[in-house]
Structure formats: structure tokens, C-alpha cells
Structure 1
Amino acid sequence: MTTIFQRYADDETSDLSIQMPQRTLATTISHYPIDVLASNLEKYLVDPSSAHDQHPWAARFIMGMPVPRWARGLEWNVGQKSRFISAVWSGADLGSYLSNEWCDSSGARSSLDENSEILIDGQQRLHSLEEYFLDRLAVPDTQGQPRIWSELGNGERKRFLSTIFANARVSSGDEVALRKTYDLCAMGVMSRSMDQRAVR
């Protein structure tokens, strides 16, 4: 093992036959405020049956987004959810959530093809937001008093909703590629156990 670091190898010492893994699907990232997610939840709550009609194959909906059957279940406890919401209030880096834009436009049907518009990664964090917005989760204020969303004034709500939560997006109808992408999302952070993986 060498202790010398070189950003690039000398041509004569590099092995051109070595190739490292590549991304399965191309990703686009947009830096949206949480308000975009909140608006999506509002729209879903007004007419949940419409979302269910469009995505009859979804296991569940989180913030109005369909979650595929092959995604793991909701795992976070109340403490983890509360810590995430506190992180939003504190201005921490929230990372990104990953969704799939793909849908089949080849026909005029009421339901979209399976895996269209799905939430691939980030459901624990988005579910925490949903629980908070629906007053099912309280987080401490600056005095340590637990507070629910409906108690807050518009100034504090606007501050929270303006927080950036990046949306990484792929566009694919290939379920195998989507499952591989899902499995890779947590690698290096907290690997999914075999029973939580989409590709087995």
C-alpha cells in the first residue's frame, strides 16, 4: 500500500483494463423548498382516490408520492422522526430524496404504468414530514416545549417550508434498474439487510 497520493496515474503505470462500477441510471438534481412537497401532500389529501386510481400498484403513499411494493417498510421510530424535523428547523443538510419521473405516455389510460412517479429513496424522511404536517409528531421549540405544526404561526411555517430539500430524479421504466438504484442508495451509509433489498 502506498502513502503517496496522485490524482492521476502516469500513462505507463495505469491499467486501462480496470473499470469501476458506474451509475445504473442517470440522475438529475433540483433544489426545491419543502413547500413543493407540502403542496404535493395538500393535493393528495384533497383527493386521495385519484392518486390511488392512477397508481393502483402502489404499496402506500408518502407526501402524496407512490411507494413501490419492493421498497422496505416504514422503519423510523418517533425519536428518529423528531430528530429529522429538528434538523430541518436547525438548517442541517437534508441530503436528497430520489424519485422516478418515468411514465408511459403511449396511451390515454386512467392509471400510470407501474413504478411511474415513485419515491425510490427518502421515505423515512418524507414520512417524518408528513407525520409532522398532520400533527402526528411534536418537536421541541427553543424552550424545549413539544410543538405540533398547527400551533405555529405563518412566519415560522414559511421559514420551515422554505428549507431546501433536494430532489434527485431518474427516468426509467426498467424495474430491475430501479431496484438496483434503490439498493445502492444506502450503501456506505447503512446497508439494507437482505430482507430489505429489492434485488435479491
Structure 2
Amino acid sequence: MTAIFQRYADDETSDPRIPMPQRFLSTTVSHYPIDVLARHLEKYLVDPSSTHDRYPWAARFVMGMPVPTWSRGLEWNVGQQARFFTAVWSGADLGSYLTNDWCEPADTGRALADNSEILVDGQQRLHSLEEYFLDRLAVPDAQGQPRVWSELDNGERKRFLSTIFSHARVSSGDEVALRKTYDLCAQGVVPRSFDQRAVR
């Protein structure tokens, strides 16, 4: 049987009352090197307490970015981290990580409102990067010898840091929409179990 495909119907006999799912939040994507994330981590490490003061509601911080309480925990094992770094060093497409740009001062003090500047998706990959940069994770070199970040020369560091890791962004104060977006991020790839979903 021959498959029939048409990008558009020849006539408008289709039923316009059949709505398909709509996006919850508009997303913009920028293609930045990993070096942007490394600089963000450097800035965070200079004064982590100041960052914690801005996001007192955060469950934790990954690469200096606040992670909301409704995000799943750190789940990746060493094998998953190793596969990610093989992809980075090989120049493979790393996909993207997603943050929320929305921010608003809280009622008092320096704190920002809940869900401001959060890491919505990409926590496992970014946490793996942080562990690597802080010498808590060794990655095999071309001969299979495990190497931590501080052992690499500047040429290899520059090659790694120049790898593109796309940054997707939304901007919303609507926690329900953010939770739904979070839940959709892994659908069809590694679906989150019910207890890992933000919307239950």
C-alpha cells in the first residue's frame, strides 16, 4: 500500500473544529557555547550566599541556577553522565536546556519572586557539567584514562567550552504553565514517572 502524504489539503473539506494541542509558553532559543554556562558557574562560586538570598525558595542550585521544588531530583548515574560527555567531546548535538527569564522582586528584600530565572529542563546535563568542572567527575581521555577537568590543558578546555549547547527560554510567572512545560520536556524521550512530574 502506497502512503499518501500532502502538506496541505487540496480543498478545505477538513474540519476546522479539530484543535491540536497548543504550546503553553512561547520559547526563544539561542545557540551559545558551553563557556557561557562555565562563566555563570564562576560568578556563582564567587558569592553563593548572595545568589541564595535572591532565590530563597529554590530547592537547590545547578550551575548557579535555581531549581524549583517541583523539579525531580538528581537522577543520572555515572553511565548516563559518561554518555553525555562522550557526546560533548565528540561535538554531537546536545539538545537544549530551558530556563524561565521571568523575574519580579518579591515583596521585601533582595529576593526574586518564586520561579524567577529557574532551570526548567536540563538539570541532569547541567549538574553533570558542574561536577566535571569541579573535579568531582572524571571523563575518559582518548586512551580511556579517566581525567578530571583540572588535568586538561587550555587547548582541550577551549575545545570543550566552545561546544554549542542551545539555551531555550520562556518568560512566565504562571507556575501551572511552567509545570506543564516541565512535564512535556521529557515526553517521548525519557518519560518522567508519576512521582517525578510537576503536575499530578
> Which residue is equivalent to 1:178?
178
Q: Under a length normalisation based on structure 1, what TM-score does the superposition of the two structures give?
A: 0.96
Cα deviations by residue, 1:47-93 (Å, 9 ceiling, x for unpaired):
11011000000000000000000000000001111221121000010
The 8 Å contact of residues 62 and 130 in structure 2, kept in 1 or not, is answered as yes
Q: For residue 128 of structure 1, what is the aligned residue in structure 2? A: 128
**Contact kept in structure 2, 1:82 and 1:137, CA below 8 Å:** no
CA-CA distance at 1:11 after TM superposition:
2.5
1:168 and 1:191 map into 2 onto residues whose CA distance is 20
Is 189-198 or 50-59 further displaced after alignment? 189-198
Query: Unaligned regions of 5+ residues in structure 2, if any?
Result: none
Q: Distance in 1 between matches of 2:137 and 2:12?
A: 60
Q: Distance in 1 between matches of 2:107 and 2:191?
A: 39
Report the residue type matching 1:178 in the other structure.
L
Paired with 1:118 and 1:39, the residues of 2 have a C-alpha distance of 17
> Aligned-pair distance for 1:3?
2.5
Deviations 1:4-44 (A, max 9, x none): 11111132431111110011000000001100100010111
Where 2:45 maps in the other structure, the secondary structure is helix
Once superposed, what is the RMSD of the aligned Cα atoms?
1.5
Give, in whole Å, the separation in 2 of the partners of 1:47 and 1:53: 10
- The number of residue pairs the alignment matches comes to 200
Are 2:63 and 1:63 aligned? yes
The structure-2 alpha-carbon separation of the partners of 1:16 and 1:196, relative to structure 1 and needing over 3 Å to count, comes to same
For 1:96-126, what per-residue CA distance to the aligned partner results, in whole angstroms no more than 9, with x for missing partners?
Answer: 0000000015878400000000000000000
Structure 2 CA distance for aligned equivalents of residues 140 and 160 of structure 1: 14
1:93 alignment counterpart: 93
Question: TM-score by structure 2 length?
Answer: 0.96
Q: Deviations over 1:123-170 (max 9, x none)?
A: 000001001001111111111111110000001001100110000000
Contact 1:82–1:128 (8 Å) recurs in 2: no
**Amino acid in the other structure paired with 2:4:** I
